[in-house]
Structure 1
Amino acid sequence: MGRWVKRIVLTGVFVGLLAIGALFFAVWTTQNSLPSYSALKASEHGQTIVVHAADGREIVSIGPSYGRWLTYDQIPESMRNAMIAVEDRRFYDHYGVDPIGIARSVKVRIDTGAFRQGGSTITQQLARNIFLSSNKTFDRKAREAILALALERKFTKQQILELYLNKVYFGGGAYGIDSASRLFFSHPATELSVGEAAIIAGLVKAPSRYSPTADAEAAVSRASTVLALMQQQGFISPGEAADVDLDTIELKPEYGQNSVRYFTDWVLPQLDFILPETFEPIEVWTTLDVGMQRAATAAIQANAPKGAQGALVSMDRDGAILAMVGGTDYVKSNYNRATDALRQPGSAWKLFVYLAALEAGFTPDTTVEDKPVTIDGWSPRNSGGNYAGEIDVRAAFAYSKNTVAAQLGDEVGFGTVASMAQRFGITSPISTYPSMVLGASEVRVIDLTRAFAAVAAKGNSVEPYAITRVTTASGELLYERRASREQLLVAPYVAAQMTDLLQTAVATGTGRAAQIGRPVAGKTGTTSSNKDGWFLGFSSGITTGVWMGRDDAKRVPGLQGGTAPARAFADYMKFAVAKRPVEEFETEAKLPAWQLEPDDEAWFGSPGDYYFVDENGNRIEPYGGGPDGEYMAPPDDGWRPGDPPRSGAGDGYGPDGTVPAAPPAVDEDFLDRATGREDSQQPQRRQQQSANDAVQPNRQTGPSGMRIVEMPKANSGQ
């Protein structure tokens, strides 16, 4: 019996020695493979993105955030002691793994039935944070212990505590005590008080549960526990503990409220298109004005009807986004209604109807008739069911007469109205049914605001943007915005006339609630059954669009564009333009010479914009096309306008091999009248005209019976 006991003991000793030898070998191997101290300092958990407002103020930090690296001596003693007291009271007495701490944890487990006290040392936590995952498996715990022993052999206690305090996660994306101090208290960790150090030390156990910004009461309760442990372990005296008033500690204020996240959610995906792939920390500098963002948030929250949502987009004259609100509360709903939601614009869509009409030759003073009309079986009605009879275009727009908008759309063509909307930046699908003139096609708030901004820019395109530059954390420039190239969407006189209409709509029409004590131009929009309310307008170089409604598109009692949305617009704009000079609008229309001519043909476009079509309406060139379908000019045989007409036979060529002349599209007298040309050759041309009429009596048809039609205007903004 004794022999077997002896064998078992010897075997146990041998196995134990083997295990110890294997452990020492594992620790030695791990120690030699560990990175250097400088390499561990440089390692980070992921990319940090810090977003700045226009004034340089930090508004959001996305991803892990690392503050300034603090050496052991720079870290306040109270911070070091607080962390040791709550996380590893025997930190200076163990070699990376604490058998006493493990035994204590097991005893608590037996007594309570749950692990209420962790057995991991600060060194083990550091090993896990740097090298391992958080999976609670035996294999991971074994590797964690080996790494902790190796770390203790390679580095000093001071180095380990320095690494830990600069790398441990404190919630809110903050890694390290300096980042946490700046996040929660708005100052560096070198200035931490005892109470603040206790709050930060208490976060390690459960960062989200004890975050002072998420639950201040829970954070204070946890900090009280830390202070008690510090007193129990002799780090502070009872008097020092009693002097700490956790309730008086001030937290970092929220500058942009939660609504700023709507803006950053729209901005950050754009980095994928403007930056090369990079994983280093970056800083993004934007156009957001913190004061305007606060005013926009307050305007939406104060005016949105109960149960309804609201959205606002405000941009400067160059397209810089100054404020963006995507809903009444980002925490409750992060859906960005300013950039993503598609809603019917109602009468705000009439902007494009009247732009098309003004471009076609109507003016604000043109007489129209407000009367019942039916177009392809559709009969629009005015709000209130009243008809004013003969009025001018200005009054029809100011009072949002639906019947007049329908007639204008029918006159210029519903496809022309759709083309105008696309020209001004509407990217959503557009219907060309007659009802489209009243806003049946859904749009985004940011797109419609952009269109109004283009009118304010005298007909030039406006490209919304938010990012001005991107740098690395060290200041290296990665991206800098260049001014976008403007396109002339409509002639300046058209934009001036449209501004005239928009200004009247605010001064005397449906948008009176949007008045702010200085010139404002804008338009209301209300959809059927009060499902959507809009107001969009501009003043002193700032264009702002407001939408309100329910996400489920149900009726909102009393909601109209001229009520809550217009009031929200006014509340915001009073703040937004307060420091800007008052600007009068340029509404005097300087019409081109051709439009001032009495000839009826002048109202259909510039007389130079003509081309030939065949009897089926297909466009063709007078001299046919080349091998690639390109226009081929006739050979230059010396013939000039005014010479006797050429003639010939056989394959369309004359005896001298030249191409027969096509009759001119229009006569020279017409061109003189339309373009204002007058020269000494007019009498001779008229004589030649008479001679040519005798040979070619039909001056309004081209070769082979082609008729002359007007060339449509180019959609330069599409």
Structure 2
Amino acid sequence: MSNRPLASAGRAIPLLRAGLIAGIVVAAAAYPLAAVTGVGAKATAHAVEQKTSILRTALPAETSYLYAPDGTTVLTMFYEEYRQYTKLSDMSPNIQQAIVAAEDNRFYQHRGVDPKGVARAFVANARSNGVSQGASTLTMQYVRMALRDSAKTPKEVQEATQQTSLRKVKEMRMALDVEKELTKDQIMERYLNSAYFGHRAYGIYAASQIFFSKTPATLTPDEAATLAGLVKSPSEYDPITSDQKDATGRRNYVLDNMARLGYMSPDAAAAAKAEPIQLRLTNPPNDCASIDKKYTSWGFYCDYLKNWWSSQPAFGENRLERMDKLRRGGYRIVLAIDPKIQESAEKNVGAKENTGSPFANGIVVAEPGTGRIKAMAVNRNYSLDLSENGPSSNPEADPKTKANYPNTVAPLLGGGTLPGYQAGSTFKIFPMLAALNSGMTLSTAYNSPYKYKSAVYDGWAPSNASAAMTGRQTMWSGFGKSVNTYFVQLEEQVGADKAVRLAEQLGLRWRTDVDRDQASPTKAKKWGAFTLGVSDATPLEMANAYAAVAADGRYCEAIPVNAIFNRDGTPATYTTPGGVTREVAKPRCRQVVSADAARAATDAARCPTGDTPAKGGCGGWSTADSVRGTVGRPVAGKTGTTDSTRSAWFVGYTPELAAASFIADPDNPFNAVGDGQSEVPVAAVADTLRDALKGQPVRQFTPPSDRIVG
């Protein structure tokens, strides 16, 4: 008898030299159990003290949920690890008992490290000449998972998971410390929320959903045993992809242990073992492409949300950090989209131009006074599947991706990296606002010849669309008829640089080298063609810029959310440079032009739509005179076309909503849509505003003061 310990140790020596005993067995062989609190602990004390503070509050990555405006309908999720943190009180006792039976029978007896388990594993592994048993307690396993979840660098991840004796000693010491600070129930709760069960299921909530389409509270003993059995080896005991022989054997082992530990009767365990594993699988959606097909174009809105999120300093210092927060932070995000307006927008862009067309017809609807985007729709399918796409109209397009129709995830409506489309005469709003805000009046008049040679712009000679635009024009008639030479003269007087800077204050960004160069401080004063809309813009930008005019000159940053909640249910916040804490989802608004200037611009902007201004006259005809009749209430706006009608636009607004629509070929900007298509965005906006406001009280625009009328 006295020789047996020596014999066991002797058998362990070659195993140690060969590196075959892993984890706690190596630690136990290299250092006696006293090493946990002795020499080995002293060698790692500093690292342990640093890590223990993390474990006190460490939270695993958690899935973020994207909700419809009702706050209850889940549209999709964002995750790297599908997980929803669940309180122990919301878990069935069956899963708590099953995990003890599967992983740590003495969990409620030891204090983080199980000496009996260490000794048993050491002897068993020595006798088997290999690693047949481990001795990691649930607490030690939780420590390992918590260190992994809190790791910020690849090196820290490696240190948390590498199979070395030193790591095991650290784990043992930390497990002892953790058990001094956390109760068994707290450790059990954290463990079950951290464990990996296979098939992207991190934590018991995800596992219950993926394997059985239920919550952890309703797991039966056999279901709990099946899931608990997966933790040891999710691939080996996988009941989905295997023939279930190994999975069933592992489940039955857990059930037998549950009976042995008194968690269930032997008869109940035998009855459960006699039944096959019955799965009810769920494939949880992830990211925007997973949004249900019934929400046809909500994917584009979701994509806009992601791009918006990646620009918010509240979620990190750079894009990578912010997207990591989205996929790991456990946020609850409620969209600002209005389902009624979105449905109308989808219908109207689809009616004017089908999804198979090379021409994209899109629309964005913004809410004046908040900046919330109520709808985004385009005649495309939001999809990663490019197999259905037809040949591109652009001969230089990548043949692997073909065209952007009908399937695409390109941000055609704005919010991403695409520069947009030349917006034509819709840009005339910017010099008009700049002029009105500088003290000029709506009655400012210029003679508008068919062609005009500009002295300010080095002899540049723009022309009007037709000779019918000649004669003396005011802001009302000049805007209503879209008289180029009127607005070039107006821009000359107020300064092109002031119009450019105002456009920037209203949310426009220059995304091409040419636009950035022209908008630079040294060149903006000479950018005479700016008023003609030669710069690229997106419908998102234009809808929100015009929404500021509708809101009496108060610009609100475009925002896609009604609310964002942290994983603890509190609103997500950020701190301003001035030290003020604000909710991320709240509107961020500022007065850009005076209310009187904005009201005056609106009075002139009623002329293009066939509406009647409060103070002046439109000069007999307009470029979109059908809009007032379609919308059926006061409405303002502006048409825009580019050279050879390569793109066509209309931006329209009421006191309640602003909408911008375009039609263009995103693959080939030189593929002209033609004059016949210029009415497509006009109809899309008019029909959408009509549908969106149906049944609502009619609101009037506030007239400008007599001072600014002139």
Range of TM-score over shorter length: 0.5 to 0.7
User: Structure 1 residue 321: deviation in Å?
Assistant: 1.3
Query: Which structure ranks higher in relative contact order (CA pairs < 8 Å, sequence separation ≥ 6)?
Result: 2
Whole-angstrom CA distance in 1 between matches of 2:674 and 2:230: 47
- Residue of structure 2 equivalent to 1:500: 606
Count of aligned pairs between the two proteins? 564
SS at match of 2:426: helix
User: Structure 1 residue 24: deviation in Å?
Assistant: 2.5
5 Å matches for 1:586-601? 586=702, 590-592=705-707
Given the superposition, is the C-alpha separation of residues 178 and 463 from structure 1 closer, same or farther in structure 2, using an over 3 Å criterion? same
Deviations 1:62-91 (A, max 9, x none): 78786454439933636975x799x97999
User: Structure 1 residue 439: deviation in Å?
Assistant: 0.9
Given the superposition, is the C-alpha separation of residues 395 and 284 from structure 1 closer, same or farther in structure 2, using an over 3 Å criterion? same
5 Å matches for 1:345-494? 345-355=423-433, 360-363=440-443, 371-375=450-454, 377-381=459-463, 387=468, 389=470, 397-406=479-488, 408-409=490-491, 414=496, 417-418=499-500, 421=503, 424=506, 426=508, 428=510, 430=519, 431=524, 432-443=526-537, 445-465=539-559, 473-474=567-568, 479-480=582-583, 484=589, 486=591, 488-489=593-594, 490-491=596-597, 494=600
Deviations 1:73-132 (A, max 9, x none): 933636975x799x97999999479799999x999x9xxxxxxx9999885754532335
User: Structure 1 residue 345: deviation in Å?
Assistant: 1.8
Deviations 1:424-453 (A, max 9, x none): 554545343432221123445444333311
Whole-angstrom CA distance in 2 between matches of 1:540 and 1:49: 35
Are 2:339 and 1:339 equivalent residues in the alignment?
no
Are 2:582 and 1:582 equivalent residues in the alignment?
no
Q: Tell me which moved more, 398-407 or 296-305.
A: 296-305
User: Structure 1 residue 459: deviation in Å?
Assistant: 4.0
Given the superposition, is the C-alpha separation of residues 367 and 377 from structure 1 closer, same or farther in structure 2, using an over 3 Å criterion? closer
Given the superposition, is the C-alpha separation of residues 240 and 488 from structure 1 closer, same or farther in structure 2, using an over 3 Å criterion? same
SS at match of 2:368: coil
User: Structure 1 residue 554: deviation in Å?
Assistant: 3.1
Which one of the candidate residues 125, 128, 149 is aligned to 2:144? 128
Whole-angstrom CA distance in 2 between matches of 1:524 and 1:436: 16
- Are 1:128 and 1:144, in contact at CA under 8 Å, matched by a contact in 2? no
Whole-angstrom CA distance in 2 between matches of 1:258 and 1:219: 36
In the alignment, structure 1 segments of 5+ residues that lack a partner are: 1-7, 110-116, 211-217, 597-718
CA RMSD of aligned residues (A): 6.2
5 Å matches for 1:94-243? 95=117, 123=138, 126-131=142-147, 135=158, 140-143=163-166, 163-169=190-196, 175-178=202-205, 188-192=215-219, 221=241, 228=248, 237=272, 240-241=275-276
- Are 2:550 and 2:598, in contact at CA under 8 Å, matched by a contact in 1? no
Which one of the candidate residues 259, 272, 278 is aligned to 2:301? 259
Whole-angstrom CA distance in 1 between matches of 2:434 and 2:345: 35
- Residue of structure 2 equivalent to 1:524: 639
Given the superposition, is the C-alpha separation of residues 142 and 313 from structure 1 closer, same or farther in structure 2, using an over 3 Å criterion? farther
SS at match of 1:140: coil
- Residue of structure 2 equivalent to 1:537: 652
SS at match of 1:503: coil
Which one of the candidate residues 74, 82, 87 is aligned to 2:91? 74
- Residue of structure 2 equivalent to 1:657: none
Whole-angstrom CA distance in 1 between matches of 2:173 and 2:315: 44
Whole-angstrom CA distance in 2 between matches of 1:26 and 1:438: 79
- Residue of structure 1 equivalent to 2:372: 321
Deviations 1:132-163 (A, max 9, x none): 56649996354565577779999799987654
Given the superposition, is the C-alpha separation of residues 318 and 267 from structure 1 closer, same or farther in structure 2, using an over 3 Å criterion? farther
Whole-angstrom CA distance in 2 between matches of 1:419 and 1:28: 67
- Residue of structure 2 equivalent to 1:699: none
User: Structure 1 residue 537: deviation in Å?
Assistant: 1.9
SS at match of 1:317: coil
5 Å matches for 1:642-661? none
AA paired with 2:276? A
- Are 1:66 and 1:179, in contact at CA under 8 Å, matched by a contact in 2? yes
Given the superposition, is the C-alpha separation of residues 308 and 582 from structure 1 closer, same or farther in structure 2, using an over 3 Å criterion? same
Given the superposition, is the C-alpha separation of residues 174 and 504 from structure 1 closer, same or farther in structure 2, using an over 3 Å criterion? farther
- Are 1:325 and 1:338, in contact at CA under 8 Å, matched by a contact in 2? no
Whole-angstrom CA distance in 2 between matches of 1:484 and 1:502: 28
- Are 1:259 and 1:297, in contact at CA under 8 Å, matched by a contact in 2? no
Given the superposition, is the C-alpha separation of residues 368 and 471 from structure 1 closer, same or farther in structure 2, using an over 3 Å criterion? same
- Are 2:651 and 2:661, in contact at CA under 8 Å, matched by a contact in 1? yes
Given the superposition, is the C-alpha separation of residues 142 and 581 from structure 1 closer, same or farther in structure 2, using an over 3 Å criterion? farther
- Residue of structure 1 equivalent to 2:33: 24
AA paired with 1:348? T
- Residue of structure 1 equivalent to 2:623: 509
User: Structure 1 residue 532: deviation in Å?
Assistant: 4.1
- Residue of structure 2 equivalent to 1:627: none
User: Structure 1 residue 543: deviation in Å?
Assistant: 1.7
Which one of the candidate residues 59, 62, 72 is aligned to 1:44? 59
User: Structure 1 residue 555: deviation in Å?
Assistant: 3.1
SS at match of 1:524: strand
AA paired with 1:190? A
Whole-angstrom CA distance in 1 between matches of 2:684 and 2:172: 63
Deviations 1:233-270 (A, max 9, x none): 5667587537x463689989768647324224314643
Deviations 1:292-324 (A, max 9, x none): 685488469845674566765433221331347
Whole-angstrom CA distance in 1 between matches of 2:674 and 2:592: 36
SS at match of 1:497: helix
SS at match of 1:263: helix
Given the superposition, is the C-alpha separation of residues 84 and 400 from structure 1 closer, same or farther in structure 2, using an over 3 Å criterion? farther
SS at match of 2:649: strand
AA paired with 2:145? N
Given the superposition, is the C-alpha separation of residues 421 and 407 from structure 1 closer, same or farther in structure 2, using an over 3 Å criterion? same
Deviations 1:327-378 (A, max 9, x none): 86486647685235444321211223444677644549x7965634444554
Whole-angstrom CA distance in 1 between matches of 2:683 and 2:172: 67
- Are 1:198 and 1:227, in contact at CA under 8 Å, matched by a contact in 2? no
Given the superposition, is the C-alpha separation of residues 292 and 363 from structure 1 closer, same or farther in structure 2, using an over 3 Å criterion? farther
Given the superposition, is the C-alpha separation of residues 160 and 545 from structure 1 closer, same or farther in structure 2, using an over 3 Å criterion? same
* Higher alpha-carbon Rg: 1
In the alignment, structure 2 segments of 5+ residues that lack a partner are: 1-5, 17-25, 108-113, 149-155, 256-268, 385-407, 511-515, 574-581, 613-620
Given the superposition, is the C-alpha separation of residues 295 and 590 from structure 1 closer, same or farther in structure 2, using an over 3 Å criterion? same
SS at match of 1:536: strand
- Are 2:551 and 2:655, in contact at CA under 8 Å, matched by a contact in 1? no
Whole-angstrom CA distance in 2 between matches of 1:13 and 1:238: 38
Give TM-score scaled by structure 1 length. Answer: 0.58
Whole-angstrom CA distance in 2 between matches of 1:308 and 1:374: 35
Whole-angstrom CA distance in 2 between matches of 1:449 and 1:76: 54
Whole-angstrom CA distance in 2 between matches of 1:553 and 1:163: 54
Whole-angstrom CA distance in 1 between matches of 2:427 and 2:553: 17
AA paired with 2:450? K
- Are 2:452 and 2:462, in contact at CA under 8 Å, matched by a contact in 1? yes
Given the superposition, is the C-alpha separation of residues 547 and 20 from structure 1 closer, same or farther in structure 2, using an over 3 Å criterion? same
- Residue of structure 1 equivalent to 2:618: none
SS at match of 1:338: coil
Given the superposition, is the C-alpha separation of residues 579 and 241 from structure 1 closer, same or farther in structure 2, using an over 3 Å criterion? farther
Whole-angstrom CA distance in 1 between matches of 2:123 and 2:412: 54
SS at match of 2:308: helix
Whole-angstrom CA distance in 2 between matches of 1:356 and 1:137: 60
